[in-house]
Amino acid sequence: MAYVENRTIHDADAHVMEFPEKIVEYISEKFKSDFQPHIRSRDQNWVDETTALHDDPEFKAGAEAEIMTRRGHEALGAFRKEDRAKTLDYLGFASQLMFTSDALDNYGLETGQSNALACEVARAHNRMMADFCSVDKRLLATGYVPLVDIAQAPKIAKEALEMGCKGLVIPSRCPPGHSPSHIGLEPLWSLAEEAGVPILFHVGGEHKMNPDYHETGQGPVLDFHGGAENFTSTSYMTIPLALWQTLSVLIVDGVFDRHEKLKFGAIELGASWVPGWMRYLDSGAEAFKKGEDRLKNLSAKPSEIAQRQFRVTPYPHEPTDWIIENTGPDVCLFSSDFPHVEGGRNPLKRFETALANTSFEKKQRFYRDNFIDLMGAGLDASLHGQPYSE
């Protein structure tokens, strides 16, 4: 029995859990030696043991029954593309929007000092994702486009789309030396708009909290992975800050308006901040509209422009019903974060509980329609599925 049955639910956040060396297979020979110092090492014995586990007949036999309890590299299809179609059968999602796990920050290469390597690693990531997702049309590959090189960005995007990527990921943080709204990036937005695919942001592409905030004199705080260097309640607070700024300039500087058919999606970046951000945008526009022509030229209030073109995935622990009520019914999307442990073992139950008093129509938008709207031509019409039914 599948996790989801008798209804259409699209999963706006799912992951490949590639081993660190995997991306090297897709990097051109010219750059392999330069990239070598940036590989995040894993104990090879652990890699071998994990691979062997997935070859064990007894372990494989339990995959369906434990589809939502096995997490990380133990999950079926976490790193083997040959298993991922069966994973989707067991999950029951109509599609999954697929992201990397190891390369979410493009290995910290976008400093302005190594642009050529940053662009090549992005290309390698896109080859890797397109290859993994090629086994099933329900797997929607995302291609990464760094903004550090204005001239290269549309070229990388074009290549990613030609490979079969269905959405284009850009970093939440500002690239060194120019704004994400720089006029030189117009070809990138035009390319995505004409192709009918979204521009996406994903956690990992933001600025991290200054580590000095963690020096409290009371010792390190362990995160839910058990480590002291990863992710805690305080580092969580910075997740949307860079995106708050990036989306603001894209709206205020007219990128959204110049490309009204282009959709933007924020994935695994939370959503409780969105209502306040929308209202803060409106208050800023009201305060400065007399002196700024760019504000006078906007097609609508910034919050209305956001409602028109921006979509976001709440975390399952957030008040999804409240977010929907305060952003509008077209903004929020369901996501599982499979097979990451952060997504939990029953995200559908948590969202259903949060939406217990939400109308039938708004639920349908959350689970199905808003995803179809976000993905546009990136989602094959045959995957749209049936409307949500109670």
Closest by CA position to 86, among listed 75, 76, 97, 71: 76
Residue 214 lies in a domain: no
What confidence score (pLDDT) does residue 180 get?
98
Gap between the Cα atoms of 200 and 149, Å rounded: 18
| Average pLDDT over every residue of 203-211 | 89
Q: Where is pLDDT greater, at 347 or 209?
A: 347
Asked whether 259 and 193 are in contact (CB, 8 A), the reply is: yes
Residue 131: HSE in the Cβ half-sphere, 13 Å Cα cutoff: 13
Q: What is the chain's mean pLDDT, rounded?
A: 95
What confidence score (pLDDT) does residue 41 get?
82
Burial class (CB in 10 A: 0-12, 13-18, 19+), 204: buried
- Token readout for 7 is 């209804």
pLDDT higher than 60, residue 198: yes
What confidence score (pLDDT) does residue 225 get?
57
Burial class (CB in 10 A: 0-12, 13-18, 19+), 199: buried
Residue 1 lies in a domain: no
Residue 13, H or E segment: strand 10-15
Helix ranges (H only) for 164-224 are: 186-195
pLDDT higher than 60, residue 366: yes
Gap between the Cα atoms of 140 and 129, Å rounded: 9
Residue 72 lies in a domain: yes
Range of the domain at 277: 10-203+239-383
pLDDT higher than 80, residue 224: no
Q: The domain spanning residue 151 has which CATH number?
A: 3.20.20.140
Least trusted range by pLDDT, from 182-186, 208-212, 270-274, 320-324 = 208-212
Tally of domains within the chain: 1
Residue-wise pLDDT tens digits, 316-340? 999 999 999 999 999 999 999 999 9
pLDDT bucket at 220, cuts 50 / 70 / 90:
confident
- Token readout for 214 is 């963690």
Q: How many CB atoms lie within 10 A of CB 209?
A: 16
Q: How many CB atoms lie within 10 A of CB 107?
A: 20
Residue 247 lies in a domain: yes
Residue 167 lies in a domain: yes
pLDDT bucket at 226, cuts 50 / 70 / 90:
low
What confidence score (pLDDT) does residue 147 get?
98
What confidence score (pLDDT) does residue 215 get?
85
Residue 217 lies in a domain: no
Q: In what order do the strands lie in the sheet with 264-267?
A: 10-15, 95-99, 139-144, 167-169, 199-202, 264-267, 310-312
Predicted TM-score of the model (pTM): 0.95
pLDDT higher than 60, residue 159: yes
Percent of the chain with pLDDT over 70: 97
pLDDT bucket at 390, cuts 50 / 70 / 90:
low
Gap between the Cα atoms of 253 and 255, Å rounded: 6
pLDDT bucket at 389, cuts 50 / 70 / 90:
low
Residue 33 lies in a domain: yes
What confidence score (pLDDT) does residue 293 get?
97
Residue 88 lies in a domain: yes
Q: Which residues are registered as beta bridge partners of 201?
A: 266
Least trusted range by pLDDT, from 55-69, 209-223, 257-271, 364-378 = 209-223
pLDDT bucket at 171, cuts 50 / 70 / 90:
very high
Gap between the Cα atoms of 156 and 176, Å rounded: 18
